[in-house]
Structure 1
Amino acid sequence: MAQTVFIDGAAGTTGLEIAERLAGRAEFSLIVLDEVRRKDADARREALNDADFVILCLPDDAAREAVVMIEGDRTRVIDASTAHRTAAGWVYGLPEVTGHDAVANAARVSNPGCYSTGFIALIAPLIRAGLLPADWPYACNAVSGYSGGGKALIERFEQDRDIAWRGYALGLGHKHVPEMQAHCDLSVAPLFSPSVIPAHRGMVVDVQLPLSVMAGAGSPDALRGALADFYAGSPIVVMGETPSDGEMLLRGSNAGDDRIELFVFGNADASQARLIARLDNLGKGASGACVQNLNIMAGLPETAGLRL
């Protein structure tokens, strides 16, 4: 029997992509509200409580309100907003780091932020392995396609073709920083510099490491080996091949997929390194991760319906 899924906020970018990945899958039956009913509180409440799984693709406050509307403990929730990513009682939905069993058994799963996925996937395993210090003030630069900013930012980029780069969160208060710190067990919040480029989708997260002055830090080769071992066998988190020309590209024509590639680059004397994650901000950074978590929670192969 198909398990029912209600996507609350299905008209947004993330919700539309989740629905597309679930379309035609016999394991799930989507509860769909028309334009009028999805704005009706009683209709939403009914859908939230009738579904086996609810995926929230809403602003933070609306996501919190939706969770309150769920009356019993039968409905299991995946929240794609920022609202519950460090909240007690919620499992962080990065199963490769948090643990597949934790996600499989969870009633409430918070879907990670796109930038956070890259940062945590790189840093958390290396801190656990003792190859990077937990008390270092990490700096992270990242660029993303404009689709991650929602309808308003998509419209701005597509109407104003003169935008070549958009730096933001200049007050150093980006909403992903708390989860980046919490799920890497960092004693100091990372200094995070995000930006948007004129590509629809795609993302690069870049962490620079002055290894020679980091107490106990491993060499670039040791970091690379530890990441390869940690994610060995994962069909989704993979080690990228080192480019022979010393360059990495993020193409505007990228159609997107649900994997994340990790890279470690070091200089000749191993005194410096760059950790880089390349992913699709709408794939493993959002919708693909939601579907992966849903699969795990439903007891299905985690890659079902994903683009790999």
Structure 2
Amino acid sequence: MTQQPVIFIDGEAGTTGLGMRDRLSALPVRLHSINPVHRKDPAARKDAMEAADLVVLCLPDDASREAVAMAETLGENAPRLLDASTAFRTEAGWIYGFPELSAAQSEAIQGAPRVSNPGCYPTGAIALLRPLIDAGIMEPHYPVCINAISGYSGGGRAMIEAHMRDGGPAFELYGLGLDHKHVPEIHLHAGLTRRPVFVPSVGHFAQGMIVSIPLHLDDLNGGVTGDDLHTALAGRYAGQDRVHVLPTEPKLSAEALAGRDTMELRVHGSPHTRQAVLTARLDNLGKGASGAALQNIALMLSLQQV
């Protein structure tokens, strides 16, 4: 492109939208904004879409679906779309925006008219599970259980306000109806044929996340060891600059990668117990949200980050 591509963030006043605004300075793009007074005006939003090369949707699911329908009315003038909600992560016709998912995923994102940005929890879970299933180490019907803790910044305005008040909860489990909206995304893109059990939680810290998956090694294929799991993950992500497979540690702090757009994967365990725990550590607002979106924007517009 001879001119800087134009990006419109629909929903730029929200947590993810604000994160995107801050990060876009790392790309040679021009941000198109509308007067905050008119940010919910359909005509103003439609004009902004038509003026943009790429529209980033930072909206709730229903509002995102409405925005996509609006963009479709522009016909040949419709922009490319990157959606940050959960609305299209399992939809046909949308490319899943996890470039490290497979060897071909970055190229698929680069040429896609519509990309769905991954969820924060699924990013960690899929990064750990998909390589093991692709390698034949884990059967797709393995009974996967996923535990995860996130900083409160990923929970929206009400949760952020609750935790910023004195006496906010130190730790909460939620999603105990086992129907969390991220489960279908993990189920599909990890390559599982059995619905996983997913138990999310939130801690009294702003940013950061750990996703952990316990495994019984004797229930995997080939009599594998923890070292074999590490080798499989390291082989999949060799050469990646945002996903790093690291040695085990005796303890992990969820906040360690706050403000960064990378993710750390580890295999913990003991050869004596024949058990292992896989962990993914990331920033829920970084590689788990706005950082991932920036990576996808750079791919979609063939840009280099500065």
* TM tier, smaller: over 0.9
Amino acid of the residue matched to residue 16 of structure 1? L
Q: 1:168 aligns with which of 164, 174, 184?
A: 174
Structure 1 residues 201, 116: closer, same or farther in 2, change over 3 A? same
1:131-168 deviation digits (Å, cap 9, x = unpaired): 11111110000000000011111001111434111111
Check if 1:211 corresponds to 2:217: yes
Corresponding position of 1:276: 279
1:95-133 deviation digits (Å, cap 9, x = unpaired): 110411010010000000000000000000110011111
Check if 1:97 corresponds to 2:97: no
Q: How many residues align?
A: 299
Structure 1 residues 199, 217: closer, same or farther in 2, change over 3 A? farther
Check conservation: 1:122, 1:262, Cα contact below 8 A.
Answer: yes
Shift of 1:217: 6.0
Amino acid of the residue matched to residue 299 of structure 1? S
Shift of 1:220: 1.1
Check if 1:296 corresponds to 2:299: yes
Corresponding position of 1:58: 59
Structure 1 residues 161, 54: closer, same or farther in 2, change over 3 A? same
Q: 2:82 aligns with which of 69, 78, 81?
A: 78
Check if 1:16 corresponds to 2:18: yes
Matches of 1:91 and 1:217, distance apart in 2: 35
Shift of 1:216: 4.2
Matches of 1:195 and 1:152, distance apart in 2: 16
3-state secondary structure, aligned to 1:81: coil
Amino acid of the residue matched to residue 92 of structure 1? Y
3-state secondary structure, aligned to 1:39: coil
3-state secondary structure, aligned to 2:36: coil
Matches of 1:289 and 1:178, distance apart in 2: 19
Matches of 1:217 and 1:180, distance apart in 2: 26
Check conservation: 2:109, 2:299, Cα contact below 8 A.
Answer: yes
Q: 1:146 aligns with which of 141, 152, 174?
A: 152
Q: TM-score, normalised by structure 2?
A: 0.94
Shift of 1:212: 1.3
Matches of 2:52 and 2:143, distance apart in 1: 43
Corresponding position of 2:254: 250
Alignment RMSD: 1.5
Structure 1 residues 81, 218: closer, same or farther in 2, change over 3 A? same
Amino acid of the residue matched to residue 289 of structure 1? A
Matches of 2:37 and 2:168, distance apart in 1: 38
5+ residue gaps, structure 1, are none
Structure 1 residues 161, 50: closer, same or farther in 2, change over 3 A? same
5+ residue gaps, structure 2, are none
Alignment of 1:225-264 (within 5 A): 225-243=231-249, 246-251=250-255, 255-264=258-267
3-state secondary structure, aligned to 1:238: strand
Shift of 1:242: 2.4
Matches of 2:162 and 2:124, distance apart in 1: 26
Q: 1:119 aligns with which of 118, 125, 141?
A: 125
Corresponding position of 1:88: 92
Matches of 1:162 and 1:289, distance apart in 2: 29
Shift of 1:58: 0.3
Check if 1:222 corresponds to 2:228: yes
Q: TM-score, normalised by structure 1?
A: 0.93
Shift of 1:69: 0.5
Corresponding position of 1:29: 30
